[in-house]
Each structure stands twice: as structure tokens, then as C-alpha cells.
Amino acid sequence: MDAHISPSTVSGTVRAPPSKSYTHRAILAAGYSDGATVYDYLDSADTKATMRSVDAFGGTVDRSDDGPLSITGFDGTTGVPDNVIDCANSGTTMRLVTAAAALADGITVLTGDDSLRSRPQGPLLDALSALGVRAESTRANGQAPLAIKGPLTGGSVSIPGDVSSQYISALLMAGAVTDDGIEIELTTELKSAPYVDITLEVLDAFGVVAEPVGADPDSEIRSAGADGFVVEGGQQYRAEDGTYHVPGDFSSMSYLLAAGAVAAAAGTEVIVKGAQPSAQGDSAIVSILEAMGATIEWDTTAGEIRIEKSTLTGTTVDVGDTPDLLPTIALLGAIADGETVIENCAHVRLKETDRVSAMATELEKMGAKVTEEEDTLTIHGEETTLTGATVAGYHDHRIIMSLTIAGFCADGKTTVTGAEHVDVSFPNFFEAMRDLGATVELSD
């Protein structure tokens, strides 16, 4: 499916989709428990992969059209799946589920689509192997398909922190139900620390205690600067009152806020609901927009953000903890005056696609002046005038949504190919844009 975007203005009220990161973890935490009801969850291609995994391990996930997820868990005893687990395009599913599979007394095979089968899993496989689990890449290249044979009983392990924080989250979630627990030593600096905080927050909601070791006591990010983590074994997952409510997703919210900042109609604003504070590092999009000069107001009590079209000025942003914001920041930089410098972004090349290169390439097609380096992306807004073009979506939801917003401000029509992949995290993205007044046409 292709999306055809015309220059547009937007205004009105829109609700952010539920958090994909929290939804994944809540579904699996409910699976580790004897059962829970998950409200306000994100129903997307990625989260369905995690639901299938819970089913494969012996739990059941009941979905209703408009209601919550009713999950009967496998209560810490992971069964051996009857079939291969297909994680589709969901890297979060594969990594969290790989550690869950290590608990089973038998072999679990995990695979995914072409993109997922190119993403690095080696450090997690090495860690599980060091803990006595047979954990192999079937092609011996550190990538899926993966074959995992437990059971995992716990222990101490070292793992890098700068490839994917999901490795740490996976070990913490599984470690709670091992006999001996798991102590994790980080061999490199932890990147994306707020995502580990999300895991710790969900674990806490399910009555599981896990702690960072050596973290910066002055940081608002609980895991920032951590040398490692520890989770005791023999714990039970139990959600308070048997329920869990998923907060709104700031990663997805960033596109709604960006649309307001660059395309709100004169004298109007875009109001985004579902913006309750949480451990999500991507809530930094609010301060980033403020730094760029946006007129933005966040009512944290009401969970509501208001934003007007603003004259933006380039800034410098370190995305070490917020990799998913890079595409949004890049599109904002293409519209802002001056230079926008995105630093500490090498790990963003290891997502669904190389998002650094993808945004540089496609924004250049639209007329942006961009300088790409291994760990830095610079957008020269003062040398940029966006013009409509046909750009590739890379089968990547975040690239597609960012380029769509850029199209609102381009001269002429912009076509984004492969637009159906927004289903990964924001299935009704184009509908939401139309409801705000944007002109978007979809074609097969």
C-alpha cells in the first residue's frame, strides 16, 4: 500500500495509541503469572506476535473487539511449543520470548520476517549459553532463526549494554521465575536505559522485584549509569487486583506532536490525549520540541498536550536513551531553521532498518540537505526546502510516519511506499491524520 500525502494543515483533538513497549511487557508478564486482564492495550502486528508466544508456551490470550485482553498465564512454567514461534517483524517479541523459551525443558524455535532475521541476537544467545542454556542461531550468524533449549536455572552473566536494552529486559523478566535468579554485569555503557525502566515498572506492577546496580542516584532515569542488574529467583508474577492498564505511547505520540508543530492551521492547535507520565524515555519529545521553540503545554494531571504551529530552530539532541525518536527529530530538523544535530545514534542503525541512513536518504529525495556520519546525523534546515517526492518506507513504521508528516510541509504531493507497515505500532495512523484534517490518500 502507498500513501499519497498532499500539503496539509491539521487541527483538533486526537488520542495517542497505547504504548507498544508496555503492551509487549504486560502481555508477557501476564503470561508469566497465573493470569491477568490487560486494559487499554495496543492491538498491532507486533503485539499480536507476543500474544501468539504466550499461547505457544501454554497460556491463552482472549481478545474481544472493544474490551481488554483476558490472559490465562503459564504461571512461570514455560511449556515447549508445539510449533515454531513466528515473531513476524517484532524484535521486542523475539528478544523477550527468547529468554522465556530458555525456561522450557525442551527446544523452542523462533523466527521472523526478512527484516527480523537480519537483526542482532548474538549477545543474548551468548548470555544464555553462559547460563547453561543451549542457545543457537541456526545459521551461526547471531541472527534468527533461533533454537533455544533449557531449562534456565539462573546465575551470573555478563552482557553488553550498547546493542539492545531488550536483552537486559528479557533476562530480568525470565530471571524472576528461575530457581537462583540472575545477576547481570554490563560490559559496556547501557543505551536506551528508559526502556529498561519500563520493564522495571511493569515488573513492579506484577509484584516482581528487580534492581539496577550502580545506577546514577541523581538521574530521573532509574537505570541510567547502571553497571548491572539483579533479580532474585523464585518470585511469582501477580498483578494487583489481577489487572493492568497500558499507558499512552510517546513514541507514536511524537508524530502527532510533530504534525501540530509544523502543520497546525493558523489560530488552532492540536490536542493529544493519553499523555500520562510514565517511565517512557520518549516523553523527551516534549522537551525537544520546547528546545526547538515550539509552543507546547503538557498538563500531566489530565494527560493532555496542546501544541501550535511554531517557528522551529535547530538544536542538538543525544538519542542514546531515545533511539525511536530519531526519525521524528530528523523530520523536524528538515523544517526548522538552522542545523539539527542528532548525536549518539549508531545503535539506531540496528532497528527494523538502518534508520539513520533511511532518514538521510529519503529526506534528501525531498530536497533536504543532510550530513550522515556513523554516530551523527545532521540536518541543515537553513539549506532545505522540502519538495514532494516518492520515498521509500523501508517496511518500517517509524520511517513511514515521519515521512508522512514531512509531506504535509512539502511543495507538491509526496508518496510513501509500503505504508501498510504502520500497523506495527499505530494501525489507525492515517485515519488519525485525516481526522485532524490532513489530505492523505491510500492505494494498493
Residue type, 108: T
pLDDT at 361 over 80: yes
230 domain-assigned: no
376 domain-assigned: yes
| Ramachandran area for residue 237 (φ above 0: left; ψ -120 to 50: alpha; else beta) | beta
**Cβ–Cβ under 8 Å, residues 16 and 253:** yes
pLDDT at 31 over 90: yes
* β-bridge partners, 441: 4
Q: How far apart are CA 388 and CA 127, in angstroms?
A: 47
Domain boundary among 173, 206, 222: 222
pLDDT one-digit tens code per residue, 382-433: 999 999 999 999 999 999 999 999 999 999 999 999 999 999 899 999 999 9
**Sheet containing strand 316-318, strands side by side:** 316-318, 339-343, 376-380, 370-372
Kindly state whether residues 6 and 120 are assigned to the same domain.
Answer: no
Kindly state whether residues 302 and 161 are assigned to the same domain.
Answer: no
**Cβ–Cβ under 8 Å, residues 298 and 275:** yes
Confidence (pLDDT) at 382: 94
Domain boundary among 160, 188, 222: 222
Kindly state whether residues 171 and 303 are assigned to the same domain.
Answer: no
DSSP state of 139: T
242 domain-assigned: no
pLDDT one-digit tens code per residue, 61-91: 998 777 899 999 999 999 999 999 999 999 9
Kindly state whether residues 380 and 437 are assigned to the same domain.
Answer: yes
DSSP secondary structure string, 39-102?
ES---SHHHHHHHHHHHHTT-EEEE-SSS-EEEE--TT-PPPPSS-EE-TT-HHHHHHHHHHHT
The count of residues in the chain is: 444
Residue 381's domain spans which residues?
A: 2-17+248-443
Q: How far apart are CA 170 and CA 260, in angstroms?
A: 36
Kindly state whether residues 188 and 68 are assigned to the same domain.
Answer: yes
CATH number of the domain bearing residue 384: 3.65.10.10
Kindly state whether residues 141 and 278 are assigned to the same domain.
Answer: no
pLDDT one-digit tens code per residue, 126-161: 999 999 999 999 999 999 999 999 999 999 999 999
Catalytic residue among 197, 324, 396, 423: 324
Kindly state whether residues 77 and 112 are assigned to the same domain.
Answer: yes
Mean pLDDT along residues 311-333: 97
pLDDT one-digit tens code per residue, 42-63: 999 999 999 999 999 999 999 8
Confidence (pLDDT) at 66: 78
Residue 324 a catalytic site member: yes
237 domain-assigned: no
Confidence (pLDDT) at 350: 87
205 domain-assigned: yes
Kindly state whether residues 110 and 159 are assigned to the same domain.
Answer: yes
Mean pLDDT along residues 243-259: 96
**Cβ–Cβ under 8 Å, residues 326 and 276:** no
Kindly state whether residues 86 and 9 are assigned to the same domain.
Answer: no
* β-bridge partners, 272: 14, 305
> Which grid cell is 25?
511487557
Q: How far apart are CA 145 and CA 150, in angstroms?
A: 17
Mean pLDDT along residues 352-377: 97
Q: E strands of 369-428, at which residues?
A: 370-372, 376-380, 390-391, 414-416
DSSP state of 221: S
Mean pLDDT of the chain: 97
416 domain-assigned: yes
Mean pLDDT along residues 26-34: 98
Q: List, as residue ranges, the binding site for 3-phosphoshikimate.
A: 20-21, 25, 164-166, 192, 324, 351
234 domain-assigned: no
Q: How far apart are CA 190 and CA 175, in angstroms?
A: 19
Mean pLDDT along residues 340-369: 96
pLDDT at 369 over 90: yes
Among residues 59, 63, 55, 69, the alpha carbon closest in space to that of 23 is found at 69
Residue 3 sits at φ, ψ, to 5 deg, of -110, 130
Mean pLDDT along residues 116-132: 97
Q: List, as residue ranges, the binding site.
A: 20-21, 25, 91, 119, 164-166, 192, 324, 351, 355, 398
Question: Per the structure, how many domains does the chain have?
Answer: 2
Kindly state whether residues 33 and 128 are assigned to the same domain.
Answer: yes
> Which grid cell is 145?
532463526
**Sheet containing strand 2-5, strands side by side:** 390-391, 414-416, 2-5, 440-443
**Cβ–Cβ under 8 Å, residues 200 and 213:** no
Q: How far apart are CA 46 and CA 158, in angstroms?
A: 28
Kindly state whether residues 259 and 399 are assigned to the same domain.
Answer: yes
Kindly state whether residues 201 and 270 are assigned to the same domain.
Answer: no
* Sole residue written with cell 544464555: 128
**Cβ–Cβ under 8 Å, residues 142 and 121:** yes
Domain boundary among 175, 205, 222: 222
410 domain-assigned: yes
Question: In this structure, is the dihedral angle defined by the CA atoms of residues 79, 80, 86 and 92, taken in order, positive or negative?
Answer: positive
> Which grid cell is 230?
539483579
pLDDT at 352 over 90: no
* β-bridge partners, 306: 271, 297
Q: List, as residue ranges, the binding site for phosphoenolpyruvate.
A: 20, 91, 119, 166, 355, 398
> Which grid cell is 40?
487499554
Confidence (pLDDT) at 427: 92
DSSP state of 387: B
**Cα-Cα-Cα-Cα dihedral of 50, 55, 61, 64, to 10°?**
80
